[in-house]
Structure 1
Amino acid sequence: MRYENRADAGRRLARRLEHLRDGHVVVLGVPRGGVPVAFEVARHLGAPLDLAVVRKLRVPWQPELGFGALGEHGVRVINQEVLRESGLTSVERETLEQVERAELERRVRRWRDDRAPLPLAGRSAVVLHDAVATGAAAEAACQVARARDAARVILAVPVGTEESLAYLRAVADEVVCVQPLRHLGSVGAWYEDFAPITDSEITTLLAEAERAVTASGHDLPPEGPYPGRAVEVPAPQARMAARLTLPPTARAVVVFAHAGSSGRHDRRIQYVAAALHRAGLGTLLLDLLTEDEERNRHNVFDITMLARRLHAASRWLRRETGVPVSYCAADTGVGAVLEAAAADEEIRAVVSIGGRPDLARPAALARVRAPTLFVVGAMDSRLLGCNHVAADWMRCEHRIEVVPDATRLLTEPGPLETVAELTRHWFTTPRSARSKVRAAPAASYPAPAVRGGEHR
């Protein structure tokens, strides 16, 4: 099937991306050819449009052969096999990269026309190009989205080679292609009109997409992180340090409970919290111990004391905000969260990130009513076993999500995007729809076992 032009390809591709509608996405076009495709997808999804600017690195005496690509934010992708076969010396390669980096920056300035890149933190980025041949440019574009803190990256193209698409499935969280081909040949052969895209066309499409989003009232990503404020939360025998963030019209608040004195400053926890802010949820990053208390290691495992403090924080938070409260925790804090949830029927939902739910008493686990999600790294067999044992005691709706190739989820950079997306889905998806909604392609995670109406 040949496309009439890039706009036609974008409209056909948009129908394959319908599941992303209302999913807090930002569409990123890869200039030049990917921008008209992305414009049609953004218009169909009612999503904002931005750029993921990359620049191919080509072998000078064989321009059709690319040995890599450069992208904004210092992104650099090199195909070592092609580089070896090209015979380029290290000096020649470095010179080419310097020239192409300067050209990339010049084009960024021209195309953006002083517009700041749209914030992607906590949102899904849909990267669009007009085709995938070697995959270097597409990989660089996905890495640009990652560098801009996108919670999830979806690569979508009208046509591409099966070999490159298979490789890119390890780069993006989801890959969508209307026509995967064993042999691509010339990209232009798949379009009746494959005219070059001019700079003025790019700036015009960006401006038109911006006007359309503004007119529709669609929520553009905020210009920066939502402001939070330092607070002290009263509890028995202590005043707990915390940071409270309330986006406008927040419909719930998630307490990130840390069994220590410095969790509110942890950038990885802040990253997951930012994903919730983008979804319209507030957060309370709460340290359940003071600095002096944390020096006594026994306090970190005093689940009863920690649960009482968390329960007091929930009461305080409801008075302060007037909205429902949910819980999220990692490590030993999970035991306290589940004990507190067992004593509080008003808790809306619970997420455990690589935690120790086995530290909660079995009787407490059986009393938890809040839907509970356990996120565990596949390579941490001991912790995975602990989570399964704890889940077996639970009678409420619950699920175990296993993240591939991961051990400690909040101490490794790779799984962090997956953790943020799974957490956001659990807290924002209506209970009746949870069994139908997944935060990542089904192939990436084991299907949850179902027993007696409970999800594990």
Structure 2
Amino acid sequence: MPNTSRFKDRTEAGEQLGKALREREVDVDMVLAIPRGGLPLGRAVADVLDVPLDIVVASKIGAPGNPEYAIGAVASDGSVWRNESAFRGTGSDEEYFQQEKEKEAENARRKADHYRGERSEPDLAGKTVAVVDDGVATGSTVRACLEMLRKTDADRVVLAVPVGPPDTVRELRELADEVICLETPSSFRGVGQFYERFDQVSDEEAMAYLESSS
């Protein structure tokens, strides 16, 4: 891939992100990682910046008959983002979207509760939070997470990702106070192509990264 470096793995990408945040003097109070793939990065970013790590959770809303194709996403508090062009192009209707939104919101809530265990939700009042994931493609889950955080008392919401296509990154700048993306290659097929190692992260592995912050 010309002009674009590959990350060794998610931890290395997180270390680079943490250094970028520090070099740009972004005064982060807390890192919020998007499970599962965002937690190895979030752990590394939080360690570089010496701040707490927590999670922000959203679930994709799949198209009728094609659940892998996201027509939107919904966060654990019910905040929703809809891809209008995908919604129209797949023949979805409002009834379908609302049903799937409710189902996926409940899935996101359950996931957040499962990951946090006995811990309460973090107090974000007056804080600068960095939302971290292992990369963005369409950015559907990230958008729902940012919509959720815009409703909180957080002072600033910064999105930090290693890689994403230029159009998506540009659109995400409208939802966050600041976006830091290390690589914005024009030839983008998927996040995994920019990693030497891009294994699936299990819930158990992801939760272990979170536990080490408590």
Instruction: Indicate whether the TM-score tops 0.5.
Output: yes
Q: CA deviation at 1:108?
A: 1.4
For residues 238-282 of structure 1, give each alpha carbon's deviation from its aligned partner in whole angstroms, at most 9, with x where no partner exists: xxxxxxxxxxxxxxxxxxxxxxxxxxxxxxxxxxxxxxxxxxxxx
Query: Which residue identity lines up with residue 12 of structure 1 in the other structure?
Result: Q
What is the distance in 2 between the residues matched to 1:19 and 1:126?
15
What is the distance in 1 between the residues matched to 2:52 and 2:23?
16
Q: Does 1:127 align with 2:131?
A: yes
For the 8 Å contact 2:58–2:105, the answer to whether it is kept is: no
Q: Does 1:137 align with 2:166?
A: no
Query: Which residue identity lines up with residue 99 of structure 2 in the other structure?
Result: T
Partner of 2:16: 12
Q: Does 1:42 align with 2:46?
A: yes
What is the distance in 1 between the residues matched to 2:74 and 2:93?
18
Q: CA deviation at 1:21?
A: 6.3
For the 8 Å contact 1:22–1:45, the answer to whether it is kept is: no
Superposed, which structure 2 residues align to 1:48-447 within 5 Å? 48-210=52-214
What is the distance in 2 between the residues matched to 1:187 and 1:63?
19
What is the distance in 2 between the residues matched to 1:168 and 1:49?
22
For the 8 Å contact 1:27–1:42, the answer to whether it is kept is: yes
For the 8 Å contact 2:77–2:109, the answer to whether it is kept is: no
> What are structure 2's unaligned runs of at least 5 residues?
none
Count residues in correspondence: 210
What is the distance in 2 between the residues matched to 1:115 and 1:13?
26
For the 8 Å contact 1:71–1:104, the answer to whether it is kept is: yes
| SS of match in other structure, 1:74 | coil
What is the distance in 2 between the residues matched to 1:167 and 1:150?
21
- Structure with greater Cα Rg: 1
Q: CA deviation at 1:11?
A: 1.0
For residues 29-60 of structure 1, give each alpha carbon's deviation from its aligned partner in whole angstroms, at most 9, with x where no partner exists: 01111111111000000011010111111214
Residues 142-151 or 125-134, more deviating:
142-151
Of all paired residues, the percent bearing the same amino acid is 33
